[in-house]
């Protein structure tokens, strides 16, 4: 019986002259599942829309990755532009560092732009239906992507002694925590939260007004992310003593709740 969760001993896979980073493979696997599930759900609502999700993904996925990286760099500038930082490291996405809010924001913009182009040559439902179809798949992608943090041994929480605690080698422990051996596996917490929320959203069906499933995703995920952020100990900017991502989670949750209420009124 394991007394704790071990940290991986490798973060890359070597195949001949090629090096594959497991963080990147987790992201790619998550994207593939999001596209497959999103397509299945969207075509259930609009049967004559074969390949729409995959076509939109050609624009939305790169936009999301760029947005996620921009958010990460903006909120953690010292790692790249501070003392001892290397600016070019901002391009090394495979080493970790994709902010979900930047990914969702710019990814949604990219999806909307491509969706509008497709709507000019085929009959497509409102973009809100498209977002609703994608929401559970995005959550599964996030759940898989969080295991990339496990492979990189990063973004864990406060010290913890429990059967599910994560063993962290001393070289990966933040300053002031070298005496502790096991920590909260926040990657696992968020992954499980995403999976539970994804299944819950898929059970809602078509009863909500268009766009409400996506708004529920953003609101409920933000609440869970707020709790998880409160136990993380990696370096982060703070405002009034709270991590920046906690403030962002609060604001996004409130905005999603307001949007959800507005959509509910329109659907009445």
User: What pLDDT is stored for residue 1 in this prediction?
Assistant: 41
Please state, in angstroms and rounded to a whole number, the distance separating the CA atoms of residues 42 and 242. Answer: 39
DSSP state, residue 155:
S
When pLDDT is averaged across residues 103-116 and rounded to a whole number, the result is 95
Pick the more confident residue, 9 or 267.
Answer: 9
> Smallest Cα–Cα separation from 67: which of 92, 39, 97, 38?
97
User: What pLDDT is stored for residue 213 in this prediction?
Assistant: 95
Beta strands 182-183; 238-239: pairing state: unpaired
User: What pLDDT is stored for residue 267 in this prediction?
Assistant: 55
Cβ–Cβ under 8 Å, residues 148 and 118: no
Please state, in angstroms and rounded to a whole number, the distance separating the CA atoms of residues 127 and 119. Answer: 10
When pLDDT is averaged across residues 192-217 and rounded to a whole number, the result is 91
Q: Where is average pLDDT lowest: 86-100, 207-221, 252-266?
A: 86-100
Cβ–Cβ under 8 Å, residues 256 and 215: yes
Highest mean pLDDT among 45-59, 73-87, 88-102, 103-117: 103-117
Q: Where is average pLDDT lowest: 20-34, 91-105, 242-256?
A: 91-105
Pick the more confident residue, 262 or 79.
Answer: 262
When pLDDT is averaged across residues 40-50 and rounded to a whole number, the result is 86
- pLDDT category at 49 given cuts 50, 70, 90 is confident
State percent of the chain over pLDDT 70.
97
pLDDT digits (tens, 9 = 90+) for 15-40: 888 888 999 999 999 999 999 999 99
pTM for this predicted structure:
0.91
Residue whose entry in the numeric block shows the structure tokens 């909307």: 112
Burial 223-243 (b: 16+ CB within 10 A, else e): bbbbebbeebbeeeeeeeeeb
């Amino acid at each position: 019986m394991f007394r704790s969760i071990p940290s991986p001993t490798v973060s890359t896979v070597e195949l001949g002259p090629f090096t594959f980073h497991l963080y990147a493979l987790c992201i790619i696997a998550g994207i593939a599942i999001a596209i497959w599930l999103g397509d299945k759900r969207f075509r259930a609502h609009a049967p004559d829309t074969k390949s729409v999700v995959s076509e939109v993904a050609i624009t939305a996925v790169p936009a999301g990755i760029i947005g996620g990286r921009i958010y990460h760099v903006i909120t953690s500038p010292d790692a790249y532009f501070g003392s001892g930082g290397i600016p070019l490291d901002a391009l090394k996405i495979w080493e970790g560092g994709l902010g979900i809010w930047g990914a969702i924001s710019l990814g949604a913009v990219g999806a909307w732009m491509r969706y509008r182009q497709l709507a000019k040559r085929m009959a497509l439902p409102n973009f809100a239906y498209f977002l609703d179809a994608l929401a559970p798949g995005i959550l599964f992608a996030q759940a898989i992507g969080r295991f990339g943090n496990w492979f990189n041994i990063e973004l864990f929480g406060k010290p913890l002694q429990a059967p599910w605690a994560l063993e962290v080698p001393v070289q990966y422990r933040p300053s002031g925590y070298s005496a502790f051996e096991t920590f909260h596996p926040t990657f696992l917490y968020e992954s499980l939260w995403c999976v539970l929320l994804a299944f819950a959203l898929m059970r809602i069906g078509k009863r909500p007004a268009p766009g409400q499933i996506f708004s529920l995703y953003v609101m409920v995920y933000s609440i869970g992310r707020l709790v998880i952020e409160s136990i993380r100990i990696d370096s982060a900017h703070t405002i009034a003593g709270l991590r920046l991502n906690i403030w962002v989670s609060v604001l996004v949750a409130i905005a999603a709740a307001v949007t959800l209420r507005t959509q509910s009124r329109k659907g009445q």
